[in-house]
Structure 1
Amino acid sequence: MCSERLFYWSLLSNTPARINRSSALMASTLLPAPLGPLLLLLLLCSTSGSSQRPQWPVQRVPVVWPQQIEEQPPPHFLRPAQLQVTSSCGPECHKRALPPSYWDLQQFLSYETLHSSGQLTETVVGIYGFDANAFYETPAGRSRSKRQIFGHDSRFSIVGHDFLLNYPFSAAVKLSTGCSGTLVGDRHVLTAAHCVHDGKNYVKGAQRLRVGFLKPQHKETSGRNGTGGRPDKMKFQWIRVKRTHVPKGWIKGTANDIGMDYDYALLELKKAHKRRHMKLGISPAAKQLPGKRVQFSGFDNDRPGQLVYRFCEAGDETYDLLYQRCDAQPGASGSGVYARMWNRRSRRWERKVIGVFSGHQWVDLSGTPQEFNVAVRITPLKFAQICYWIKGNYVDCRQG
């Protein structure tokens, strides 16, 4: 945890730094910075005991189980992906919405699967072990967050192969439709549903969807001992998507109503990658997060070819959505929102994806458009569904 705090410090101090995580407490790993705040930071690291560790909450996970698969007519591929989402329902609107019934949830969590061949299937699911009274509770509200950039732009472009090719930054990928995503399995990428489907139709490019992995581009240089290669710029290496899962809650709703709660999708690649992926986690309440903070990395359109990292305080929240103050631009949509907390079972720190950054939600409030940064939270039911898409069984999906 201290090495991560020092990493934040190196970013905030605006001084380039290479951090050796195995010896993060050594001040020599940082370039000169104001001494007082750094010493305070080191003091906080040295005095934080195990009793103060933010821990992943232990939650019981229900089962979302396929019951029937039906082939659907070939889909239409229309407009390009819209990288920003419009909605008529803001935080207070979502809080006032009635909790869905079992039959509503069964409908919302049923899903479509788009295959690379163009075949489209619909899967009807059953839900088991779900107690609406235990799970469906709206957290206490906090101040809402607005705007894409909050005063000073607090985003950081990640530079240098040492960072870009190492976890967790290496788990961020780019979609050929212009969005971002996060590796959550050997062949699986979590992203936003609106990156492949606009609520009514699949977007242009969804059938031939590709996922880009940022890798170093080597330039050939001649030397006394012959020709060698040196890393210079970064480029994307692309892998085709085999199938795409989109929940019916997004398709049956639209971005203009409660369907916003289901703005997530899972992509299965045609071949496995070799990078470390992130684990899924059920989203804790904002007050349980370390420093009430979330973080994510994506490929913002205003910084082409660069991976952009940010962290910020979580703001208002509903059962399905998390509003936060993270600076972002179109292109970051679909990024996995993650946190780092202590796993009491494995007795170690773990980063887990707890949501999907949906983007900038425009809400028409009494004729006045207002903007919110919003992420879809991974609830117990969504965890069960996404985990099943990855694992292919529910036995390995019982702990979130």
Structure 2
Amino acid sequence: MNLLKKMTSIFAIMVIMISLTLTPVFAAETNYGNWVEVADAMSEHLEKAVEVYKPGDKDAKKAATDAINVAYFKFYEKIGFEKTTMSAISGQRGSMVEHQFYRAKNSIKEDADPKEVKDEIDALITYLHEDAHTLDGTSGDSKSSDQSQEDANSLSTGQLLGELLKRFGTFFAVLGLTLREGLEAILVVAAIAAYLSKTNNRIYLKGVYIGALLGIVFSAVLAGVFNIIANTVGEVESGMGQEIFEGIAMFLAVIVLFYVSNWMLSKSEVEVWNRYIKNKVEQSVSKGNYFALSFTSFLAVAREGAELILFFQGMRTGISDNPMHMWIGLLVAAIILAIVYYLIAKVSVRLPLKPFFTFTSWLMFILCLSFLGKGIGELQEADVIGRTIVPWMNGWSAEVIGIYDRYENLIPQIILLVVTIASVIYQNNRNKKIRAELETSQEKK
């Protein structure tokens, strides 16, 4: 149970770091009683974009785009509207609304007719208010929130769900977000820990855990930096900086994970592994490999941690009517993730050598594909990369595994998938060749 205790300690430290970053400086910001009020505040900025926009006028176009970006970064992202929508409604809905933000900004960029810009922004405002009413458990009418028990008994299934979301929306949003984001970091760290345990290199586990802890500390520092930027130069610059950092961090993780997964796959045969140990090749590459593993642990935690801390800051200053639900959701998610980590690490280590290395390498390959798609998605949110929708996907996406209905995301993933398949075929053939050579040499003896 030492493994479970260590991971519980790491999550406890993260909870403490999050609480320390929720300082009174953020209390000065406007608090919103429900998501409809947040949608109303966003609508003001979006309507301002319609008012100031003038085709061909560079300054007017910039002012209109900035107004949309404020609605996106200061409200939709920072307060947690996007994450709550994805957790409580669906990832596909969140992706659709996010794309509508892009359509609105793109229409301005392309000097569209003012009516077309207005139509795009009106559609966005409609989406936001629909989601806000869903999250608040209202239907958009003037029905009192203090319904009697008799009225509650006659509610439809959809209305009951809405009422549940209104009462426990913060809890479910925090729980869902923490589980989804934390699971990515957990899978990476658990795979690394299992590998070190399986190969009798537990001495290097300390470095991996230190990397995770440094990632937590770095997350808190980074979140503070983003908030300083937001307070000095604006929410837009802070939000874009966050997206760019997360995108770059994911690309670095893809490179390291792809390298490590290939290395593991190349040692998946028992005979190949024994030869590897016998020839002491490990000694010549161990320092680089273990540094790479520790750095990957750091990246996985730092990226997820910074996003979580910023989300919780926005949740506290935005929807403040039930802060206790936020903390309960965070603690429950931390306990679940610690248990998941323990189970993954223990079950993996108990696998025979070949299934273990094969499972771990494929897990890392899948994470590579996910991180690549999400990394591009982060840069798209920062307007660094454009978006071209894939019509035949009919709006379907799986944000949790980094699959989006955009060519810019899918094409690199397809290329990586082809390279991965080629790499697997090469490594399998290489392992068979080495095994055949070993069998031949043993027969000669």
TM range (shorter): under 0.3
TM-score, normalised with respect to structure 2: 0.26
Of Structure 1 and Structure 2, the greater helix share is in 2
TM-score, normalised with respect to structure 1: 0.28
The structure having more radius of gyration, on CA atoms, is 2
Of Structure 1 and Structure 2, the greater strand share is in 1
